[in-house]
Amino acid sequence: MVERTDWEEMAKGLLRGEMARKAVTYAQLVEKLAAIGIEDNERNLRNKVSRGKFTAGFLLQCLSALGCDTLRL
């Protein structure tokens, strides 16, 4: 069975991968999130992603802000 930390690493990698594909920095992601009504700051965003401890809802918000409409797992 896969441990929770493995899933967190996968979620973190998925988000970072999409950011890299779109060439979006954390500062730019903060701006994109603000445009859809999600207020956060760069430091908090970096920490959340670095730890990989965020909700599925937060992941979907980030992916939506990045303009991601399909994912490959």
Residue 37, token pair as written in the block: 């009504």
Supply the pTM of this predicted model. 0.88
Please tell me the distance from the alpha carbon of residue 28 to that of residue 43, in angstroms, as a whole number: 12
**Given this model, what pLDDT does residue 25 score?**
98
pLDDT tens-digit map of 3-59: 668 889 999 999 999 999 999 999 999 999 999 999 999 999 999 999 998 999 999
The answer for 55, left when phi > 0, alpha when psi is -120 to 50, beta otherwise, is beta
Domain boundary assignment for the chain: 4-65
Say yes or no to pLDDT of 1 above 60. Answer: no
**Given this model, what pLDDT does residue 8 score?**
92
**Given this model, what pLDDT does residue 71 score?**
85
Listed in sequence order, the residues at least 6 apart from 42 whose beta carbon sits closer than 8 Å to its beta carbon are: 26, 27, 30
